[in-house]
């Protein structure tokens, strides 16, 4: 099941003001991993559940194009109000129905958001849109309880997610 929270204007404005940006060191690890697995060029990154765009903006220097997707138009309005990121676009939508052709996305990320998604539907979409060698990074700080379900590799995905978790 997907959840719909964080959608109000006031909530989005508080997010924009006080939400912290994920560490750049973490972003560097993600880009290095993508370099190793897929190689250059890095064309399209998609940040799911982008909120007010803190993590989306970190990706901008590394890709030709970055798209932030969120179900909340209020969050997106706040994200769009940050100037200076000409290669980022923000679109209203859900992680479970991505507006991209098959095999077109280099990197998919979700920062403190994947635990809200319908895991089965989202992972089917992720697998559909990613290029061969493309990567997905799910990051967060309190979402240790996430349970990923995908075909017969849910257990493996959950092991990886928990293995790299830092207490």
Considering the rule CB under 6 A, would residue 16 count as an interface residue with ligand SAM? no
Report in angstroms how near the CB of residue 39 gets to ligand SAM at its nearest: 27
Contacts of 105 (CB under 8 A, 6+ apart): 44, 45, 46, 98, 129, 130, 131, 134
Write the binding mask 63 to 102 for ligand SAM: x where contact by CB under 6 A, - elsewhere.
Answer: ------xxxx--x------------------xxx------
Calpha distance 89→91 (Å, rounded): 7
Contact with ligand SAM (CB under 6 A) among 98, 111, 129, 148: 111
Q: Which residues pair with 44 in a beta bridge?
A: 65
Is residue 112 a contact point for ligand SAM (CB under 6 A)? yes
Strand partners of residue 90:
68
- Total residues contacting ligand SAM by CB under 6 A comes to 24
Beta carbons of 83 and 16 less than 8 angstroms apart:
no
Residues of this chain that bind ligand SAM (CB under 6 A): 2-3, 6-7, 19, 48-51, 54-55, 69-72, 75, 94-96, 111-113, 116-117
């Amino acid at each position: 099941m997907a959840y719909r929270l964080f959608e109000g204007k006031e909530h989005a404005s508080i997010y924009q003001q006080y939400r912290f940006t994920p560490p750049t060191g973490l972003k560097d690890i993600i880009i290095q991993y993508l370099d190793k697995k897929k190689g250059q060029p890095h064309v399209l990154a998609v940040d799911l559940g982008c909120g007010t765009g803190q993590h989306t903006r970190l990706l901008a220097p590394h890709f030709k194009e970055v798209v932030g997707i969120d179900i909340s138009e209020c969050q997106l309005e706040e994200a769009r109000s940050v100037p200076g990121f000409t290669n980022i676009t923000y679109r209203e939508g859900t992680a479970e129905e991505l507006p991209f052709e098959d095999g077109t996305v280099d990197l998919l990320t979700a920062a403190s958001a994947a635990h809200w998604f319908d895991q089965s539907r989202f992972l089917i979409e992720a697998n559909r849109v990613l290029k061969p060698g493309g990567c997905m990074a799910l990051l967060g700080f309190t979402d240790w309880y996430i349970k990923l379900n995908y075909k017969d590799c849910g257990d493996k995905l959950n092991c990886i997610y928990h293995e790299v978790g830092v207490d």
